């Protein structure tokens, strides 16, 4: 009897502990796909962290969720000198942190300084390398042999003015300032925690009870692999435009579980790549149709250009031409992905347009191969296609290999590896052809083309080209959008002629989203700013549905019928 009693007592205890952390559902719940690795803006990059960070902090400028145009954030206005070298930001007066401390230009100076300090180990320090003296400071070089902050071009002449001086112009500098890497952090808390917890301050300052932020939301609670609860920040300068009082971000990794939650009302938005099996079932639902749009991601195969026969550009081009991307998109993926022949997905990005890829005919592929000395009689030596273990990657690799076998007489094998092993092999150039993908850091063609410069750690193909490098460098400093687009196009032309990698398809964003959610825009960076979200009223929902073209299956729009929208929206200011 005693063991049974102990067992029951144990269950009771565990349940009590578990239910302590159980809270009523938030105004809005979404699936963030995975646990965020940290809430420190200086050290994270991925999409899941970005969504939380944009809720917690606000940078100098923010992006319009629909157009990506730069909007005022913590800075209400700014001036850029004609040569594009000097930026002057004017902060909103009487702005405060969530603990009531005033938010000043000095906060931005110290946050940027933190990003550039080597011991912070920020992967994004290079976002600031155009700033005068920044590279020297980061490398510990200075006038006296020591790193000297005074020579870095980031200054706060007064509490509300921030000046940034660049050594060479960066046409997309404002876009960099809108990334999560350059959000301000409350250095006072950080220093306090350093003093109080010398061994663990790295973790302490980010705990819900300690974290001080300046964005529309504050961190209420956090449980690993469960949820992050955000609460509206009453001290936020624009709190009247923030609709939801609470937001929950779930960390569901299993897509089937996330779908189950969505279908039973456990969450109102989920994204991620939908398994092809489900696409057919979801295709006609309004909550899926509306959420699909181009995404700035490229699926491609890296080629190890250091080994024969792949050191010959003709072989690489032949391999690329032979693949029929339509089959991959329509037969294997099915969710609206677009065949891609260029290194910038969708072939265009803002003012930029990719040059045309060469003619895609089998005859041409064989011709190129013949020129390189390979034919049916003298086939390519055996090689392997390398991918990280996942069903979709395997399917695509099998299709591509079958094409190369049948059309180019190649003997192709496979090597699939677990994620980190695969990354490691790619870094060491221990592969021949390797599956890859790339997501834009910021909406600009250079975010894709730049990875193929000789010294970029993400190159991982062994391909080097001096004229490509110099074109990329010149484009980085060119302020005239037209001329800049030309330089980038020339650079991409070189890539297309050399084919150090084989682009296969462009990504689409795939969202399942409650039709009642407003302020949500399916966009090419998968970037959302929780500040803009609200629930539409029945009236607005009806209007939106009426405007729509084409038949879709109407689904239940969960949420308060009267809407849950910002005060500004109620007064018709939207």
Q: Name residues contacting another protein, limited to 407-426 (CB under 8 A).
A: 418-421, 423-425
Closer of 156 and 501 to another protein (Cβ)? 501
| C-beta separation of 322 from 404 below 8 A | yes
Question: Whole-number minimum distance, CB 437 to another protein, in Å?
Answer: 7
- Tokens 């923010």 locate to 62
Closer of 34 and 293 to another protein (Cβ)? 34
State how far the alpha carbon of 45 is from the alpha carbons of 51, 72, 75, 144, 533, in Å. Answer: 10, 22, 23, 34, 22
| C-beta separation of 517 from 560 below 8 A | no
| C-beta separation of 279 from 392 below 8 A | no
Interface residues for another protein in 149-178 (CB under 8 A)?
none
Three-class secondary structure of residue 373 per DSSP:
coil
| C-beta separation of 325 from 505 below 8 A | yes
Which helix (H) or strand (E) element contains residue 187?
helix 187-196
Binding mask 127-146 for another protein (x = CB under 8 A): -----------xx-------
Binding mask 95-114 for another protein (x = CB under 8 A): --------------------
Closer of 39 and 401 to another protein (Cβ)? 39
Three-class secondary structure of residue 359 per DSSP:
coil
Return the residue of 200, 361, 467, 470 that touches another protein, per CB under 8 A: 200
Question: Whole-number minimum distance, CB 476 to another protein, in Å?
Answer: 16
Return the residue of 191, 207, 382, 558 that touches another protein, per CB under 8 A: 207
Return the residue of 161, 202, 360, 490 that touches another protein, per CB under 8 A: 202
Question: Whole-number minimum distance, CB 224 to another protein, in Å?
Answer: 6
Question: Whole-number minimum distance, CB 204 to another protein, in Å?
Answer: 9
Listed residue (414, 423, 420, 421) closest to 385, CA to CA: 414
Closer of 256 and 350 to another protein (Cβ)? 256
Binding mask 231-270 for another protein (x = CB under 8 A): -------------------x-xxx-xx--xx-xx-x----
Q: How far apart are CA 244 and CA 28, in angstroms?
A: 7
390 binds another protein (CB under 8 A): no
Provide the token pair at 147: 């790193």
Question: Whole-number minimum distance, CB 124 to another protein, in Å?
Answer: 9
Question: Whole-number minimum distance, CB 143 to another protein, in Å?
Answer: 21
Provide the token pair at 502: 């084989």
Q: How far apart are CA 418 and CA 388, in angstroms?
A: 5
Neighbours of 86 (CB within 10 A): 15
Interface residues for another protein in 10-49 (CB under 8 A)?
10-11, 13-15, 17-19, 21-22, 35, 37-40, 43, 45
Q: How far apart are CA 46 and CA 124, in angstroms?
A: 12
Closer of 420 and 547 to another protein (Cβ)? 420
Question: Whole-number minimum distance, CB 375 to another protein, in Å?
Answer: 37
Question: Whole-number minimum distance, CB 494 to another protein, in Å?
Answer: 22
| C-beta separation of 526 from 322 below 8 A | no
In sequence order, what are the residues at sequence separation of 6 or more whose Cβ sits closer than 8 angstroms to the Cβ of residue 484? 171, 475, 478
State how far the alpha carbon of 216 is from the alpha carbons of 74, 265, 461, in Å. Answer: 11, 25, 42
Return the residue of 104, 110, 122, 510 that touches another protein, per CB under 8 A: 122
Closer of 297 and 309 to another protein (Cβ)? 297
Listed residue (537, 531, 530, 529) closest to 560, CA to CA: 537
194 binds another protein (CB under 8 A): yes
Return the residue of 66, 223, 331, 378 that touches another protein, per CB under 8 A: 223
Question: Whole-number minimum distance, CB 560 to another protein, in Å?
Answer: 21
Alpha-carbon dihedral 560, 561, 562, 566, rounded to 10 degrees: 50
Closer of 13 and 414 to another protein (Cβ)? 13
Interface residues for another protein in 423-482 (CB under 8 A)?
423-425, 427, 436-438, 441, 457-458, 460
121 binds another protein (CB under 8 A): yes
Question: Whole-number minimum distance, CB 7 to another protein, in Å?
Answer: 6
Listed residue (30, 44, 40) closest to 229, CA to CA: 30
Closer of 197 and 399 to another protein (Cβ)? 197
| C-beta separation of 511 from 292 below 8 A | yes
Return the residue of 225, 361, 454, 467 that touches another protein, per CB under 8 A: 225
Question: Whole-number minimum distance, CB 102 to another protein, in Å?
Answer: 26
| C-beta separation of 385 from 397 below 8 A | yes
Question: Whole-number minimum distance, CB 556 to another protein, in Å?
Answer: 14
Strands of 254-309 (E only): list them: 269-271, 293-303
Question: Whole-number minimum distance, CB 387 to another protein, in Å?
Answer: 13
5 binds another protein (CB under 8 A): no
Interface residues for another protein in 77-96 (CB under 8 A)?
none
In sequence order, what are the residues at sequence separation of 6 or more whose Cβ sits closer than 8 angstroms to the Cβ of residue 348? 354
In sequence order, what are the residues at sequence separation of 6 or more whose Cβ sits closer than 8 angstroms to the Cβ of residue 441? 45, 179, 447
Size of residue set near another protein by CB under 8 A: 71
């Amino acid at each position: 009897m005693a063991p049974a009693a102990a067992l029951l007592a144990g269950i009771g205890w565990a349940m009590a502990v578990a239910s302590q952390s159980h809270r009523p559902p938030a105004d809005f719940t979404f699936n963030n796909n995975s646990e965020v690795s940290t809430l420190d803006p200086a050290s994270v990059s991925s999409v899941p962290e970005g969504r939380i960070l944009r809720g917690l902090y606000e940078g100098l400028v923010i992006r319009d969720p629909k157009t990506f145009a730069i909007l005022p954030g913590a800075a209400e206005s700014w001036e850029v000198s004609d040569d594009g070298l000097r930026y002057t930001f004017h902060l909103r007066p009487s702005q405060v942190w969530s603990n009531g401390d005033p938010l000043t230009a000095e906060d931005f100076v110290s946050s940027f300084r933190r990003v550039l300090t080597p011991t912070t180990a920020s992967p994004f320090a290079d976002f600031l390398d155009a700033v005068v003296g920044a590279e020297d400071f980061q490398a510990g070089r200075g006038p006296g042999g020591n790193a000297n902050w005074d020579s870095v071009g980031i200054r706060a002449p007064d509490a509300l003015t921030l000046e940034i001086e660049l050594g060479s112009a960066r046409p997309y500098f404002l876009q960099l300032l809108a990334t999560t890497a350059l959000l301000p952090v409350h250095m006072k808390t950080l220093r306090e925690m350093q003093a109080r917890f010398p061994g663990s301050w790295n973790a302490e300052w980010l705990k819900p009870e300690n974290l001080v932020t300046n964005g529309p939301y504050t961190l209420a609670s956090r449980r690993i692999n469960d949820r992050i609860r955000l609460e509206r920040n009453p001290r936020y300068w624009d709190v009247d435009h923030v609709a939801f009082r609470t937001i929950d971000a779930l960390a569901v990794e299993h897509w089937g579980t996330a779908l189950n939650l969505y279908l039973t009302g456990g969450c109102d938005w989920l994204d991620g790549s939908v398994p092809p099996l489900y696409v057919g079932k979801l295709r006609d639902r309004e909550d899926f149709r509306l959420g699909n749009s181009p995404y700035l991601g490229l699926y491609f195969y890296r080629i190890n250009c250091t080994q024969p026969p792949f050191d010959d550009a003709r072989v690489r081009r032949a391999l690329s031409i032979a693949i029929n991307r339509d089959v991959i998109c329509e037969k294997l993926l099915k969710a609206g992905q677009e065949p891609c022949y260029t290194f910038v997905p969708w072939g265009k990005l803002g003012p930029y347009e990719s040059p045309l890829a060469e003619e895609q005919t089998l005859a041409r592929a064989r011709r190129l191969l013949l020129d390189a000395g390979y034919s049916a009689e003298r086939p390519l030596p055996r090689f392997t296609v390398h991918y990280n273990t996942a069903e979709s990657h395997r399917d695509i690799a099998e299709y591509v290999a079958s094409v190369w076998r049948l059309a180019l007489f190649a003997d192709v094998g496979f090597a699939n590896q677990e994620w980190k092993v695969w990354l490691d092999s790619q870094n060491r150039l221990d592969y021949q052809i390797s599956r890859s993908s790339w997501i834009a850091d910021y909406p600009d063609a250079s975010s894709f083309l730049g990875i193929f410069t000789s010294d970029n750690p993400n190159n991982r193909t062994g391909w080097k080209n001096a004229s490509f490098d110099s074109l990329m460098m010149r484009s980085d400093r060119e302020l005239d959008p037209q001329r800049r687009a030309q330089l980038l196009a020339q650079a991409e032309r070189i890539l297309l002629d050399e084919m150090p990698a084989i682009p296969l398809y462009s990504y689409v964003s795939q969202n399942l989203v409650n039709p009642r959610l407003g302020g949500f825009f399916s966009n090419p960076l998968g970037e959302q700013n929780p500040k803009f979200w609200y629930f539409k009223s029945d009236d607005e929902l009806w209007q939106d549905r009426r405007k729509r073209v084409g038949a879709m299956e109407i689904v239940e729009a969960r949420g308060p019928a009267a809407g849950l929208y910002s005060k500004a929206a109620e007064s018709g200011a939207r």
